[in-house]
């Protein structure tokens, strides 16, 4: 079973003078292309300040295989080639897990965050599904050993055992299995036209 974590790629690019508007349009176009790619989790870009020419462009994929598929695609090659005259790539970094979103130095602001954040009820369901059977199993196995203990110590032992299992094993598996459902964009209700 694969335990790969999401990968965030941070690419530092220097935008040449006079190309700020074009670079904005180019970054939007790249997001539109990547959004439909399997395993895409989100993208955006940050700048060190309004006058800065260095942009940190971020994109995130569910695993190394889906990232490799995007990076080797003809669509991405065409997109990168279209910007050769207006920017230079100065640094590329890869981060696993969630820390990649928060590792950029400086006073930055996200211009266009694209990650689909699941509603809280979906997050609650994804936690409940592994936690309930795991908690039930832990109570069943530990009860003969801890039934004479004070309740607070029984609960403490359960938490000490279950928390790392949930964090490092079961939640990553559950969120990977439920990813299409968790990352599904929210349905937007059509606007009603008012009758005059």
DSSP secondary structure of 60-125: EESSHHHHHHHHTSHHHHHHHHTTTTTEEEEEEEEEESGGGGG---SS-EES-----PPPHHHHHH
What is the CB-side half-sphere exposure of residue 192 using CA atoms within 13 A?
Answer: 3
Out of 3.40.50.2020, 3.30.200.20, 3.40.50.720, 3.30.70.100, which CATH number does the structure's domain 7-110 have?
Answer: 3.30.70.100
Q: What is the pLDDT of residue 72?
A: 92
Per-domain residue ranges for the chain? Answer: 7-110, 120-182
CB distance 77 to 30 below 8 Å: no
pLDDT digits (tens, 9 = 90+) for 34-92: 888 888 888 887 776 667 788 888 888 888 899 999 999 999 999 989 988 888 888 88
The rounded distance, in Å, linking the Cα atoms of 111 and 109 is 6
Q: What is the pLDDT of residue 17?
A: 85
Q: What is the pLDDT of residue 105?
A: 38
pLDDT digits (tens, 9 = 90+) for 145-166: 999 999 999 999 999 999 888 8
Indicate the pLDDT class of residue 185, thresholds 50, 70 and 90.
low
The rounded distance, in Å, linking the Cα atoms of 163 and 93 is 31
């Amino acid at each position: 079973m694969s335990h790969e974590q999401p990968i965030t790629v941070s690419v530092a690019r220097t935008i040449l003078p006079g190309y700020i508007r074009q670079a904005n349009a180019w970054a939007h176009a790249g997001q539109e292309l990547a959004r439909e790619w399997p395993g895409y989790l989100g993208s955006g870009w940050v700048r060190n300040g309004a006058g800065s020419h260095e942009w940190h462009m971020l994109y995130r994929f569910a695993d190394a295989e889906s990232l490799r598929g995007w990076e080797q695609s003809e669509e991405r090659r065409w997109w990168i080639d279209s910007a050769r005259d207006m920017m230079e790539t100065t640094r590329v970094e890869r981060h696993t897990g969630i820390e990649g979103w928060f590792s950029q130095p400086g006073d930055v602001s996200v211009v266009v965050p694209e990650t689909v954040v699941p509603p809280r009820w979906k997050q609650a369901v994804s936690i409940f599904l592994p936690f309930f059977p795991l908690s039930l199993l832990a109570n069943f196995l530990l009860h003969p050993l801890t039934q004479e203990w004070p309740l607070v110590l029984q609960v403490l032992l359960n938490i000490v055992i279950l928390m790392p299992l949930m964090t490092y094993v079961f939640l990553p598996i559950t969120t990977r299995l439920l990813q299409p459902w968790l990352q599904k964009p929210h349905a937007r209700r059509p606007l009603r036209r008012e009758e005059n």
